[in-house]
Amino acid sequence: MLKVSVISPEAVLFEGETASVVAPAFDGEVGILTGHAAMVTVLGSGTLRLADGQSFRVEGGFMQVADDEVRVVTEKASKA
Amino acid sequence: MAKGRELLGRIKSTENTRKITRTMEMVATSKMKRAVDRVVAARPYALALTDVIASLYSPELASDFPLLRQPADVKRAAVVLLTSNRGLAGAFNSNLIKEARATVAQLEAAGAEVQLHVVGRKGIGYFKYVGRDLAVQRTDITDKPTADDAASLVDTLMAAFAAGELDAVYVVQSQFKSVLSSPPASTRVLPVTRPTAGAATKDYLLFPSAGEILSALLPAYVRNAVYRALVETVAAEQAARRTAMKNATDNAGEMLNVLRRTYNRARQANITQEIAEIVGGAAALD
């Protein structure tokens, strides 16, 4: 499982475990599964989807992946 | 009994004032709790951002970014002063204004031209009174500041700094250390000082590149510094108001004790005198 946190300037919107993450990177969607290499990517705007069906609208910021931990740090986020 | 009635009036009015200050204390307490929650909720974002910027930062990249430009001497600077819209918060606003004046004086002594940006009615009122021109006056930022408020404050300053029209930007805020300690402080938000890395840096795959990531994140970092200054100042304002109103309530209580004692003594003296008069009158009849 991946440990995922979705963080906006105002609050932590989500923190928990999920099997996969699909994030809107600057150049298209990126899917993250367990065992992904350590990565930092800039995000564009779009929908962030988790395996359990939850999704968030995000805009800007970045995603950091390291040791099965995914941090989505975005300037604007809301639950979709 | 003329004195007694006058005292009764004062007792009544002190009681009413105490009721108001006690209510304001309770309101400030609950507002402060929510403001502190916002300060705490803002921390993870700041930590995550600092972490990544610190791990990507390298001195070779610094010269490529306008926000990292380190001017040799400061010719033009901006000071952003955060104050509250409402008073009755003890020395809260005057401390902030004092700090801002010290910062401005220091910059001007070093030969810089300083423009003042003031948030909050109290700060604006003061600088209008002393007749200083303000570049920006904002009263629309409530006690629930948002990241958009921070962006609207600092985006023009960032653009001016990047274009070389400004050499430094300072924010005068209240640091919310605890409920009892929230000293005013002036922090430099531009040029960006390199954040110190917390954890050991990993070898990340970077998309699109370290430079591109930094150029996207540095403005976010500056905006976040201002956002945190806003939420901390609001929390400090409510804490200051709570303390001020608690003192006022306590003082009203003490004053009531003294007034009631004086009133009772006067009443007692009056009764004693009346009895003495009756006894004297009865004795005269015999």
Q: Which domains does chain A show, CATH number per domain?
A: 2-79 (2.60.15.10)
Q: How far is B178 from chain A (nearest CA, A)?
A: 20
Across the interface, whether the CB atoms of B208 and A27 are under 8 A apart is answered yes
Radius of gyration of chain A, Cα coordinates, nearest whole angstrom: 11
User: Would the pLDDT of B57 be above 90?
Assistant: no
Q: Please check whether the domain covering B2-24+245-285 is classified as CATH 3.30.1360.120.
A: no
For chain B, what percent of residues have pLDDT higher than 70?
A: 98
Helices (H), chain B: 2-41, 43-56, 59-62, 92-109, 121-129, 147-162, 210-285
Residue with tokens 């290499």: A37
End-to-end CA distance of chain B: 30
Report the interhelical angle of B210-285 vs B147-162 (nearest 10°): 130
With beta carbons under 8 A apart, name residues in chain A contacting B48: 7, 64, 71, 73
**Closest CA relative to residue B222, chosen from B182, B199, B195, B198:** B195
Chain A within 8 Å of B153 (Cβ-Cβ)?
Answer: no
Question: What is the b/e burial string over A9-38, where b = at least 16 CB atoms within 10 angstroms of the residue's CB?
Answer: bbbbbbeeebebbbbbbbeeebebeeebee
User: Would the pLDDT of B49 be above 70?
Assistant: yes
| B59 confidence band (pLDDT: 50, 70, 90) | confident
Q: How far is A18 from chain B (nearest CA, A)?
A: 20
| B70 confidence band (pLDDT: 50, 70, 90) | confident
Q: How many CA atoms lie within 13 A of B286 on its CB side?
A: 6
Q: For residues B113-133, give the mean pLDDT.
A: 94
Report the interhelical angle of B2-41 vs B43-56 (nearest 10°): 40
What pLDDT, on the 0 to 100 scale, is given for residue B3? 78
Closest to A42 (Cβ–Cβ): which among B38, B44, B216?
B216
Note the pLDDT tens digit of each residue in B14-29.
Answer: 999 999 999 999 999 9
Closest to B220 (Cβ–Cβ): which among A27, A39, A75?
A75
Contact B148, B223 (CB under 8 A): no
What pLDDT, on the 0 to 100 scale, is given for residue B191? 85
Helix/strand/coil for B53: helix
Contact B199, B140 (CB under 8 A): no
Chain B within 8 Å of A11 (Cβ-Cβ)?
Answer: yes
- CATH 3.40.1380.10 range(s) for chain B read 29-243
Chain B within 8 Å of A52 (Cβ-Cβ)?
Answer: no
What pLDDT, on the 0 to 100 scale, is given for residue B230? 95
What pLDDT, on the 0 to 100 scale, is given for residue B2? 59
Q: Which two tokens stand for residue B51?
A: 């972490």
Across the interface, whether the CB atoms of A64 and B204 are under 8 A apart is answered yes
Q: For residues B205-219, give the mean pLDDT.
A: 88
| B1 confidence band (pLDDT: 50, 70, 90) | low
User: Would the pLDDT of B199 be above 60?
Assistant: no
- CATH 1.10.287.80 range(s) for chain B read 2-24+245-285
Across the interface, whether the CB atoms of B216 and A62 are under 8 A apart is answered yes
Across the interface, whether the CB atoms of A66 and B207 are under 8 A apart is answered no
With beta carbons under 8 A apart, name residues in chain A contacting B213: 40-42, 62
d(CA B99, CA B171): 10
Degrees (nearest 5) of the Cα angle B27, B30, B35? 120
Chain B within 8 Å of A35 (Cβ-Cβ)?
Answer: no
Protein fold of B29-243: Pyruvate Kinase; Chain: A, domain 1 (3.40.1380)
User: Would the pLDDT of B200 be above 80?
Assistant: no
d(CA B26, CA B174): 22
B 211-250 residues with CB < 8 A to A: 212-213, 216-217, 220, 223-224, 227
| B63 confidence band (pLDDT: 50, 70, 90) | confident
| B149 confidence band (pLDDT: 50, 70, 90) | very high
Bridge-based pairing of strands A55-59 and A76-79 is antiparallel
d(CA A43, CA B217): 11
d(CA B14, CA B8): 10
Q: How far is A8 from chain B (nearest CA, A)?
A: 6
User: Would the pLDDT of B198 be above 70?
Assistant: no
Q: How far is B51 from chain A (nearest CA, A)?
A: 10
Note the pLDDT tens digit of each residue in B220-278.
Answer: 999 999 999 999 999 999 999 999 999 999 999 999 999 999 999 999 999 999 999 99
Q: Which two tokens stand for residue A61?
A: 């910021």
Q: Which two tokens stand for residue A28?
A: 């298209």
With beta carbons under 8 A apart, name residues in chain B contacting A11: 41-42
Min mean pLDDT across B32-36, B63-67, B126-130 is at B63-67
The dihedral of CA B144, B148, B149, B154: what is its sign? Answer: positive
Residue with tokens 């922090």: B187
What pLDDT, on the 0 to 100 scale, is given for residue B211? 85
What pLDDT, on the 0 to 100 scale, is given for residue B178? 86
Closest to B202 (Cβ–Cβ): which among A42, A66, A75?
A66
**Closest CA relative to residue B188, chosen from B204, B206, B212, B166:** B166
User: Would the pLDDT of B92 be above 90?
Assistant: yes
Give pLDDT tens digits along chain A (80 positions).
999 999 999 999 999 999 999 999 999 999 999 999 999 999 999 999 999 999 999 999 999 999 999 999 999 889 87
CA B207 to chain centre: 40
